[in-house]
Amino acid sequence: MKLNNNFLKNIKEQLTEYEYNEFVSTLNLPSSHGMILKNTNQEINDILIKRFNLELFYKNNNYSYYKYDKQTLNANNVNPGSDILFHLPIYYIQEPSASSVLKNTKSEENEIILDLCASPGGKSIQILCNMEKINNSYLVSNEYDYNRCKTLSSNIEKMGFSKSIITNNNSSDLKNTFFEFFDKIIIDAPCSGEGMFRKSEDAINQWSLSLTEHCSEIQKKLLLDSYEMLKPNGILIYSTCTYSKCEDEDNVDFILKEKKDLELIHIDKIYHYQGIGEGQFFSIIKKNSSSYNSTQKNKFIIPNKFKIHAEDEKIIKAFQKENLNCDFFNMNDKTIIKNKNQYYLVYNYIDLNKYKNLNVLRFCLLIGENFNGRFIPSHAMSRSYLSENFISTLELNEIDFKKYIEGDILDYSGFKSPYVLLKYLSTPIGIAKYSNNKLKNLYPKGLRKRP
């Protein structure tokens, strides 16, 4: 691995001679790999632990993090990213040191969190695992790049979460909307990617001193905007996957000098030679100002932009009467809204007025869409808390599960309703449309496994 001399000079200034030699000598070793497992189905987790020879890194009550040896798995033609069990809402592949940033971060009641640069979604998924059973809390997962934001949305949907709003905005737009609004803000900032050198030759080729300086300026803007959005006594977590001092420690010093009410709580830098992961810098900062006055919660009001109309209510009620044992219009803590042609169930404690001028890809739980005057259920519904309400369900064997995730039509009969919830290993995986003794495949085409 040939590295830029300026990069090596910067690393040498950060480390002792012994540490530097360890850093260089381990550059050509295989990169680290790991995954988040939701603690919702121990039977499946035991299968995964054996299948991928997983080694526990850490765990809490809501999820566990495991490391695995990708080289050994590849030698045995095993790949967690292409395995059929990847299609269950159980695990998410995330680099180990990236997962370390939030391993001690808990969710609390009445808490609103912002993940500012959230794609592809690992840190949002960690937060949502912890938040799933917490009352009156939700996450705003934001990503500025539209295509990356779609990836973020897909990954959160895959895992079956419903307490996130996914936005596609820059930090200035968010700052103008959310003054002193968030209890916690995570900035996993775009960076020069020095911690990815063992995984990505492109990262090596793209690196330059000017890139680190350019990234540093972007990061400063993100920090300043986040300060404005953070409640007093709120927590800011700033991280990068780079070793560059101007992007890491210098930026923390910058924001602490700019905003005197900020206090550094913790700072850490992980290097690949330490055996934890590929490399990560992170800091935890608290805002100590006392200007914020807590006010009563706003009454839940649906802006006109998001209101459903009589024709919407008619097609939704027709669908739920035929297919579900629940009533969307009689849920104490949730309400249906419409954004463009899509319908969402949102929690009543969310101030929707905050989002009427933002680019929102997804509100909480997408339940379906209006297609030519018909309600078409969403894939997200099948993986959510609503899955237990389907009138017709079917447990697939392994052969038919493989056929389903490859997009095939299945031969089954005897169902009472037009839409059937499909399961594998007792876990909801998707929906099929029943007609003429056939189950038409509704598994999203972008997720299907190639035969």
Q: Catalytic site residues?
A: 241
DSSP H stretches of helix in 207-248: 209-229
CA distances from 181 to 110, 128, 162, 232, 285 (A): 12, 19, 20, 9, 16
Contact assessment for residue 189 and residue 239, using Cβ atoms and an 8 Å cutoff: yes
List, in sequence order, every beta strand (DSSP E) within 177-255.
182-188, 230-240
Pairing of strands 55-59, 63-68: antiparallel
Are the CB atoms for 378 and 339 separated by under 8 Å? no
What SS3 class is residue 390? strand
The three-class DSSP label of residue 275 is coil
Tell how strand 182-188 and strand 230-240 pair up.
parallel
Between the alpha carbon of residue 189 and those of residues 118, 126, 215, 219, 248, the distances in Å are: 9, 17, 9, 6, 10
Q: Are strands 374-377 and 365-371 parallel, antiparallel or unpaired?
A: antiparallel
Task: Using alpha carbons only, give the angle 128, 43, 75 rounded to the nearest 5 degrees.
Answer: 90
The residue type of 76 is: N
Distance CA 422, CA 401 (A): 9
Residue found by looking up tokens 């169930």 in the block: 345
Backbone angles phi, psi at 248, to 5 degrees: -110, -95
Three state DSSP letters for 369-385: EEECCEEEECHHHHCCH
